[in-house]
A and B are shown apart, each in its own frame.
Chain A
Amino acid sequence: MVRPVRVLLFATARTAVGRAEIAWTVPASGRSAADLAADLAAAYPRLAPTLKASRLVRNGRAIGRPSEVVRPGDEFAIHPPYGGG
């Protein structure tokens, strides 16, 4: 059985979806970060504006290239602009 991607949502991304985490199924070969973000925006239209302004993070590391592949079992986080301090 293919394990889903664990999508983590913070701040405005969490508010847009109404949850802090969702399980998202991707093909066994994976899905590019750009395509995965587009899939999520299509499924959650209120997330789309936040996604445009967010950093995408895979397994705790910022995704440098939109073509980077997200694989089943990965953690994929959406980071809206930061606001610590």
Chain B
Amino acid sequence: MTTSVRLTRSSLSFAAAAVELEGPELGGVVLFAGRVRGERSGRGRVVALDYEVHETPALRTLRDLDRAARRKFGVERTVLWHRVGRVPAGEVSVIVGAAAGHRAAAFAAARFLIDELKRTVPIWKTERARSARRRPRRRRPRGGRSSG
């Protein structure tokens, strides 16, 4: 049984996470990636999220989640990766995954992992937004309106 827990300032790779879940006996593999949405907020368009973490309890909680997923769903391998620091819009901020003999366990475990990660791991995010620029008003040319 293998787990991969990671808090990192570097980019997260979906392909690298898939490698962690390889195994000839693992017929069901589910990977979830969460991306920073560049949506509109009250302060303009979101350009990035700043993630902060209380690292020691966060790592312990991630390992606890792995153990709970294996106990509840019988999965053989899990991935729990989260970025910290500034993550630009469009980039992946979190990857969770689970691999088991069959798909039902893998789906259930992956859903459990992302839901519990959001609920129980001491990570916080702050929006970085850029307000929309107002167009400069055009000055009326001297000499009045053109008739053309």
Q: A interface vs B, CB < 8 Å?
A: 8, 10-11, 57, 60-62, 77, 79-80, 82-85
Contact, CB under 8 Å: B52 / A60: no
Shortest Cβ distance from residue B98 to the other chain A in the assembled complex, whole angstroms = 16
Q: B interface vs A, CB < 8 Å?
A: 34, 51-52, 54, 56-57, 60, 82, 93-94, 114, 117-126
Q: Which of B57, B121, B125 contacts A61, CB < 8 Å?
A: B57
A14 — nearest CB in chain B belongs to which residue?
A: B52
Contact, CB under 8 Å: B54 / A79: yes
Contact, CB under 8 Å: B54 / A84: no
What are the residues of chain A within 8 A of B126 when measuring CB–CB? 11
Contact, CB under 8 Å: A82 / B119: yes
What are the residues of chain B within 8 A of A77 when measuring CB–CB? 54, 57, 122
